[in-house]
Amino acid sequence: MDDIILLKQGEMVLKGLNRREFEVKLISNIRRRLKPFGEFRVYSMQSTVYVEPQGDCDMESAFGAAKTVFGAMSVVRAAACEKDKDAILKTAISYLESQLLASKSFKVESKRADKRFPMGSIELSQYVGGLLHDRFPHMKPDMHTPELVVNLEIRDLAAYVHGAAEAGAGGLPIGVGGRMVTLLSGGIDSPVASYMMAKRGVKLIPAHFFSHPYTSQMAKEKVLSLAKILTKYCGRMMVELVPFTKIQEEIRANCPEALLTIIMRRFMMRISERIATDNGCTALVTGENLGQVASQTAEALAVTEQCIGLPTFRPLVAFDKQEIVERARSIGTYETSVLPYEDCCTVFTPRRPRTKPKISEVLEAEEALDIAALVDDAVRGIERVAITI
């Protein structure tokens, strides 16, 4: 009996002539993600990715990691055996024995992808189900709401026996959606936005803006911790830590107080665009949410992105806060995000921020600043930190 992990593809199966490109990327991502747990043979057939351990491997950890790889809708740990009805029955009894003993009701579901197998799906289910009931008479057959579903799959290379599948990460494999810069603060929203864009196959480069001494080293470490959590979904990342103190001080000294936040955000967008250009990225990602704070009104968002040429993606734009919090909890970033270390967005906060700024007044205010020099200076001071799983 051979233990194996099966990952079932989701929307990738609809990709037509481009499908193989998606499969190759998914296989590559799975190999990289499972490397710490042993050596595995990973290959794809019939809309399923097979992960076969080669020698001694940590299958429990590998299975948990496989569920975080974008591109698979479901993941199951199964036993492979010969395509013979009695071998399948024997494997079901041995592989699922503890579940069979613990369940009060069951049914058998069969899928015959290999049409050369001599028994039909219903016939195989009846054969194995009848003999399982003889072996475990305490279980009642239940075709509607069974406690245990014994799954049998007859595929090209072998037969596979397993219990219930678990949800995979879904989405598309990292790397098929291009590269983008994500503005990663220490808050709740931006890690969730980063996760959601990664789920669409985007390779992310996080940019974090810090303002020493107004923000602490702990605030910077908090962001790196968030990036570390995201790597199990996003893969390895290079975090760009941008010094932002001088820019914020120049804005405070030379610009109207009501426009401080908007002008600060515009500088973040300019610098992020420079990072994007240097790394071959096609867009920016932010955690902005329509109406959540003063700088996130429709008017303010329009002014914020007016200064750049790249598109800006805001996957949380229509979410309410509770939805974002729930997603943050589910991906494991929430507890770190709420640690009490403030980021640069809380520095020099205006008492009455302009919620509906006009681009003309912002451009006039920015005339007091040497924008190009400030951006160049910040880009030169970037610290880069590699984050791996």
* Burial zone of 87 (CB within 10 Å; 0-12 exposed, 13-18 middle, 19+ buried): middle
- What's the rounded Cα separation, in Å, for the pair 178 and 379? 23
User: Phi/psi of residue 300, each to 5°?
Assistant: -65, -40
pLDDT (tens digit per residue) in 241-279: 999 999 999 999 999 999 999 999 999 999 999 999 999
Distance CA 88, CA 148 (A): 17
Q: What residues contact 110, with CB distance under 8 A and at least 6 apart?
A: 121, 122, 124, 125, 128, 151, 152, 153, 154
Residue 186 per-residue DSSP state: S
- Are 176 and 22 in contact, with CB atoms under 8 Å apart? yes
Q: What is the pLDDT of residues 294-350, one digit of tens each?
A: 788 999 999 999 999 999 999 999 999 999 999 999 999 999 999 988 777 777 787
Rounded distance, CA 239 to CA 233, Å?
15
pTM score of the predicted model: 0.92
Rounded CA separation 212/220 (Å) = 10
Map tokens 């640690």 to a residue: 339
Average pLDDT value for residue range 168-196 = 96
CA distance 30 to 114: 26
